[in-house]
Amino acid sequence: MERTFMNTYCRAGWICTALALSSPVCASDFNIPFINAAGLGNAYADWATAASDASTTYTNPAGLVNIDRQQLVIAALGLKGHTRFTGSTQTPPFSFPLTISQSGTASSQLSAFFPSFYYAAPINNRLAFGFGVTVPFALGTNYGTDSIVRYAATRSQVLAVDMGPSLGVKVNDKFSFGLGLDAVRLAFKLNNIYGPPLAFTDTVGQNYLSGWGYGWHGGILYQVLPATRVGASFNSMVMMHTTGSSEVFGSFPPGRIKIENNKTNAGLPARAQLSIQQDLNSRWSIMGTAFYTNWRTFEKITMKRVVIPGGNITSVTIPFNYHNTFDYSLGLSYKPSPQWLLRTGVQYMNTPSNDRDRGVADPIGRAIVIGLGLHYQQNLCVGYDIGYGHSFFKQESVDYANALTKAVGHNNTATNVFGAQIAWNLT
């Protein structure tokens, strides 16, 4: 289930992966925020209004005041899928005696794991505390060192861990607000192969960087009517400062060259969510969310101290030229009994990228996401959730070129996400 925010925090993740590019061969948008299994079933259509478990500390801390006892939530989600590039590549992209031109397909499996931990506790009848550790985005692709796109990307991985406290404040019986802090740890890898004119035989380039960024999030929750509530949440831009290593090795030129202190700075974009939820009766509820991401702040990134074949050290600028996006989710819940709750939802996930700057390292693009979920309340202390999401991706065009290579064709992608969680009321 790719996103509800899928689209936004997810892209943020691949943006980060792009931070690791060893050449201007780029990664595109990536957006996959899977922060709990309960919301997955509704395609996160209740992002800012759910306030049903401790994960609200991340989605909208204003909802913490609705958690009336200490609660611990542990969730785990996994993504599996595949992507295929069909088209042609040329390295280098200009006339050269040793030009390598290829056409056909290149495939990669997609996989990611998203664990989360949340804690909530009321302080008094107006204040509530929350703390969360979650993986809002993670993904890995591996096209192999012999594929037709190897000069653009081979193995790519990104992992971001977001952690921090939140505080919810109840103003009156209808209105609450909340604020939280975010410390984001990002680690990413992006490898590719160098060919002519920099290397006469395939030479491996590897880049690994990691670092911290800090931001904040907040939200409001308003009970308009007994059966109607509206929520809004905001996540600030997070400026990431990453350092790491850059390495090349091959047979001609021979040897292995590795340097440290590779640096990249980039800001993960600010985003906002607006949700409305309506209880139709004691059994049925409908909900919807609009997600906005300020992608225009992410035009390009520059990597400093990148080593290339021959041992030269240079800076690499990677263009993105993203545009701002809206994504939308609609969800439906049905409660056949006090113990059981059934969920479903649909989401439209947009893409901020364009055909000119889109590459193969990040295959995520526009999609329709279908979600299904189930909640079982065993007793007053323990509840379980499972969720499933399938993404129907639109075929995305690729027409990318830089100083070293070019790729023309299209990407086809499909993914499935499975999730489970348990919530314990501790007191």
Q: Which two three-digit tokens encode residue 280?
A: 């139709």
Q: Which residue has the tokens 């100083």?
A: 403
Q: What is the DSSP letter of 148?
A: T
CA–CA dist 360, 377 (Å, integer): 43
CA–CA dist 314, 152 (Å, integer): 18
Q: For residue 258, how many other CB atoms are within 10 A of its CB?
A: 11
Residue 3: is its pLDDT beyond 50? no
Give pLDDT, residue 253.
66
DSSP notation for 322-356: ---EEEEEEEEEE-SSSSEEEEEEEEEE-----TT
If you average pLDDT over residues 121-136, what whole number do you get?
95
SS3 12: helix
Give pLDDT, residue 44.
95
Give pLDDT, residue 149.
93
CA–CA dist 72, 291 (Å, integer): 27
Angle of CA points 178, 184, 189, to nearest 5°: 150
pLDDT digits (tens, 9 = 90+) for 55-85: 999 999 999 999 999 999 999 999 899 999 9
Residue 315: is its pLDDT beyond 50? yes
CA–CA dist 153, 108 (Å, integer): 11
Q: For residue 253, how many other CB atoms are within 10 A of its CB?
A: 16
Peptide bond just before 254 cis, omega within 30 deg? no
Residue 232: is its pLDDT beyond 80? yes
If you average pLDDT over residues 309-335, what whole number do you get?
90
Compute the mean pLDDT over every residue in the chain, rounded to the nearest whole number: 88
Give pLDDT, residue 32.
53
Give pLDDT, residue 119.
98
If you average pLDDT over residues 363-382, what whole number do you get?
92
Report yes or no: 352 and 359 within 8 Å, Cβ to Cβ.
Answer: no
Cα–Cα distance list, 294 to 7, 11, 267 (Å): 12, 11, 11
**Model confidence band, residue 351 (pLDDT cutoffs 50, 70, 90):** confident
Considering only residues 315 and 383, tell me which one the structure prediction assigns the higher pLDDT.
383
Give pLDDT, residue 24.
31
Report yes or no: 86 and 412 within 8 Å, Cβ to Cβ.
Answer: yes
Give pLDDT, residue 97.
86
Give pLDDT, residue 392.
92
CA–CA dist 208, 243 (Å, integer): 8
pLDDT digits (tens, 9 = 90+) for 18-57: 333 333 333 333 455 789 999 999 999 999 999 999 999 9
CA–CA dist 25, 359 (Å, integer): 7
CA 141 to chain CA mean position, Å: 14
Give pLDDT, residue 282.
94
If you average pLDDT over residues 174-182, what whole number do you get?
98
Rounded to 5 degrees, φ, ψ at 10 are: -65, -50
Instruction: To the nearest 10°, report the CA torsion of 303, 307, 160, 329.
Output: 60
Residue 215: is its pLDDT beyond 60? yes
Bridge-based pairing state of the strands 367-377 and 340-349: antiparallel
If you average pLDDT over residues 303-308, what whole number do you get?
87
Give pLDDT, residue 159.
84
Give pLDDT, residue 31.
53
Give pLDDT, residue 17.
35
Considering only residues 425 and 111, tell me which one the structure prediction assigns the higher pLDDT.
425
